[in-house]
């Protein structure tokens, strides 16, 4: 049974003669949360947060970090 939070990922293999593409069209309100890894640089974090908030000002952004025991947790930024 799925919990309140669900994650969806989409993988579309390219055909032999298809040109690569970076993104598919979506509605900005479909992306409601962004999770950033613990090793992200400040420059990349700022870039992705700015882009995400430019598309959906209501997006919630979280950044991973490790506690003293090495366990990963997420903090809202």
18-69, pLDDT tens digit by residue? 776 666 677 778 888 999 999 999 999 999 999 999 989 999 999 999 999 9
- Distance of alpha carbon 40 from alpha carbon 69, whole angstroms: 20
> Residue 2's pLDDT band (boundaries 50, 70, 90)?
very low
- Cα(48)–Cα(36) distance, integer angstroms: 9
Residues, the chain, total?
A: 77
* 27/56 Cα distance (integer angstroms): 9
Delimit the domains of the chain by residue range. Answer: 39-76
Tokens 């799925």 found at: 2
pLDDT at 24: 64
Residue 7, both tokens:
């994650």
Are 13 and 21 in contact, with CB atoms under 8 Å apart? no
């Amino acid at each position: 049974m799925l919990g309140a939070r669900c994650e969806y990922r989409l993988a579309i293999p390219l055909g032999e003669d298809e040109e690569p593409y970076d993104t598919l069209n979506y509605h900005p309100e479909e992306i409601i949360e962004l999770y950033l890894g613990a090793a992200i640089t400040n420059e990349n974090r700022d870039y992705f947060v700015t882009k995400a908030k430019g598309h959906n000002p209501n997006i919630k952004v979280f950044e991973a970090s490790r506690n003293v025991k090495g366990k990963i947790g997420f903090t809202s930024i």
